A = this chain, B = another copy of it.
């Protein structure tokens, strides 16, 4: 995390040499009237925060959700600076990447959860938690409407309103059924701990049902047909877990039906795990083939009734149906109703998902942040801003840029537009100068000047690197930590903005924009084999990656308790196998 270590070092420097910070401010003021104005404004803001801390109450921060983003935010926030309240339906944080393991009892549900009250207990300031659902965000009045999860007293659920100064939305997403008929009613999802527990019971139910007397072989086969819809990492991991559970544990206990079991994995695209490297996809498809998992790609589910699942062959358009015992639906994520309603309020009604800027601020809404699966960052394109970038860089207003002028803004461009860095990395270049060099600005001709067309052509490709961040725990956790650090340094950065130049405004941004750092991704394939795609296109498949997977997942646990439990669950599974009691 270079960004943060830079923050830390800078903040320490300011702390140790208070005169240094003044120096920098003076330097900024001297650089122009408008800049000085902007600085005085931020001074004013800083004073306000200051006075509110002494004269008034602390600013109220309300966090919605206790998933990866929310919990990461809370863990990293200096809660002594704010009056923090958390609203969530779950009074715990769940280590969701292990949910597929919970479905088959490789890991117990309770081993991957940690009460949110326990997580925030060690913090300095008090963080209040309300176990409630946020039913409405009232952006105009800065209020959230909540409803308790359980009935209080006899009659009904408790409703209450929480006021905020800052709102941090981390409510996550819901499963996306693509409005396929019958999915909501007949399929299992795999988003919550309760889902995983239900799936586990359901698998055993299928085996017990298939074992009842007086059934035809057809009926038994139906009960033992497990269908996984969606060939993404979750679906694939669940199919693999289920295969292991069935073949390592259940066949011993249900020997009479073991030849009737079938696992189908349906994927509408051409390949499973299509966000992974081709090598992983091929390996996974071959392994599943050997394991007897029926992988059907190019097959889209069009309807699910209570007894059968209907699929359409993408190539031929042919519709066929198959009876099933259980369907797990894992095809992607959709927007929660409360977010849909909120988007209407703030003029994002025709968007598919809540949009924020690179600082995770919700567009069209003040002091409101959204992170994790419920939002996407609406990145600005370099090409859209190319005019203002050129103007800002062209200090002497000559209409052309000297190499010196370009060098002065290089850092700011790279920071403000994270796609630039990504592009350079892919092209194995060091900085924009290399790009410019490419576009025929000869390094030796340092005197040669660059007009706007040349800059445009140099940067023309960088926006191609823009893509939405994946809806993963890794992204959410990094966003939570990033935002917490912004909140922690809100006051300092009002005074001494540490972000890049505002190309379309004056002064500097308070903070550097969020930048995601990808540490790689795993796809467990069962049989103690895992595919790992690590940064730098490093692909590793097999038993060694499984051990890497074990160690990464153990080390990423939020508490020593869950770490102990997860490891002891793995040990237990190695020794005793998985439990098949229907509880």
Interface residues of A (CB under 8 A from B): 90-92, 105, 108-110, 113-115, 117-118, 121, 128-132, 148-150, 152-154, 158, 160, 162, 193-194, 197, 204-205, 208-209, 211-215, 219, 222-223, 252-254, 305-307, 560-561, 564-565, 568, 572, 575-576, 579-583
Knowing that A118-B253, A158-B214 touch, tell me 13 more A-B residue pairs with CB under 8 angstroms: A90-B581, A91-B582, A92-B581, A108-B108, A110-B581, A115-B580, A129-B211, A150-B205, A152-B223, A154-B307, A158-B212, A564-B576, A568-B572
What CA separation (Å) do A561 and B128 show in the bound complex? Answer: 40
Tell which of B91, B118, B152, B208 touches A149, judged by Cβ atoms closer than 8 Å: B208
Tell which of B149, B150, B219 touches A153, judged by Cβ atoms closer than 8 Å: B219
B254 lies within 8 A of A117 (CB)? yes
Q: Please name all residues of chain B whose beta carbon is closer than 8 Å to the beta carbon of A160 when the two chains form the complex.
A: 212-214
- Minimum CB–CB distance from A61 to chain B (whole Å) comes to 16
What CA separation (Å) do A154 and B211 show in the bound complex? Answer: 17
- Minimum CB–CB distance from A190 to chain B (whole Å) comes to 15
What CA separation (Å) do A387 and B130 show in the bound complex? Answer: 76
Tell which of B131, B212, B580 touches A582, judged by Cβ atoms closer than 8 Å: B131
25 contacts between A and B (CB under 8 A): A91-B204, A91-B208, A92-B581, A92-B582, A108-B108, A108-B110, A110-B583, A115-B579, A117-B253, A129-B211, A130-B212, A131-B209, A131-B212, A152-B223, A153-B222, A158-B212, A158-B214, A160-B212, A160-B213, A193-B583, A194-B583, A561-B575, A561-B576, A565-B572, A568-B572
Q: Please name all residues of chain B whose beta carbon is closer than 8 Å to the beta carbon of A254 when the two chains form the complex.
A: 117
Closest residue to A213 on the B side, CB-wise? B160
A152 lies within 8 A of B212 (CB)? yes
B583 lies within 8 A of A575 (CB)? no
- Minimum CB–CB distance from A55 to chain B (whole Å) comes to 25
How many copies of this chain does the complex contain?
A: 2
Q: Please name all residues of chain B whose beta carbon is closer than 8 Å to the beta carbon of A193 when the two chains form the complex.
A: 583
- Minimum CB–CB distance from A559 to chain B (whole Å) comes to 8
Q: Please name all residues of chain B whose beta carbon is closer than 8 Å to the beta carbon of A131 when the two chains form the complex.
A: 208-209, 211-212, 582
Chain B CB count within 10 A is highest, among A91, A92, A223, for A91
Tell which of B130, B162, B253, B582 touches A90, judged by Cβ atoms closer than 8 Å: B582
Closest residue to A307 on the B side, CB-wise? B154
Q: Please name all residues of chain B whose beta carbon is closer than 8 Å to the beta carbon of A215 when the two chains form the complex.
A: 152, 158
Closest residue to A206 on the B side, CB-wise? B150
What CA separation (Å) do A121 and B105 show in the bound complex? Answer: 20
Known contacts A152-B215, A576-B561; is A109 also within 8 Å of B158 by CB?
no
Q: Please name all residues of chain B whose beta carbon is closer than 8 Å to the beta carbon of A580 when the two chains form the complex.
A: 91, 115, 117-118
What CA separation (Å) do A205 and B157 show in the bound complex? Answer: 12
What CA separation (Å) do A355 and B424 show in the bound complex? Answer: 86
Tell which of B113, B213, B581 touches A113, judged by Cβ atoms closer than 8 Å: B581
- Minimum CB–CB distance from A121 to chain B (whole Å) comes to 6
Q: Please name all residues of chain B whose beta carbon is closer than 8 Å to the beta carbon of A572 when the two chains form the complex.
A: 561, 564-565, 568
Q: Please name all residues of chain B whose beta carbon is closer than 8 Å to the beta carbon of A205 when the two chains form the complex.
A: 149-150
- Minimum CB–CB distance from A143 to chain B (whole Å) comes to 13
Chain B CB count within 10 A is highest, among A152, A215, A576, for A152
Q: Please name all residues of chain B whose beta carbon is closer than 8 Å to the beta carbon of A560 when the two chains form the complex.
A: 576
Q: Please name all residues of chain B whose beta carbon is closer than 8 Å to the beta carbon of A149 when the two chains form the complex.
A: 205, 208
What CA separation (Å) do A158 and B130 show in the bound complex? Answer: 44
4 A-B pairs with the lowest CB-CB distances in the bound complex, closest first:
A92-B581, A131-B208, A561-B576, A117-B253
- Minimum CB–CB distance from A322 to chain B (whole Å) comes to 14
What CA separation (Å) do A404 and B239 show in the bound complex? Answer: 77
A307 lies within 8 A of B153 (CB)? yes
Known contacts A108-B108, A561-B572; is A152 also within 8 Å of B583 by CB?
no
B129 lies within 8 A of A579 (CB)? no
Closest residue to A197 on the B side, CB-wise? B583
- Minimum CB–CB distance from A64 to chain B (whole Å) comes to 15
- Minimum CB–CB distance from A530 to chain B (whole Å) comes to 25
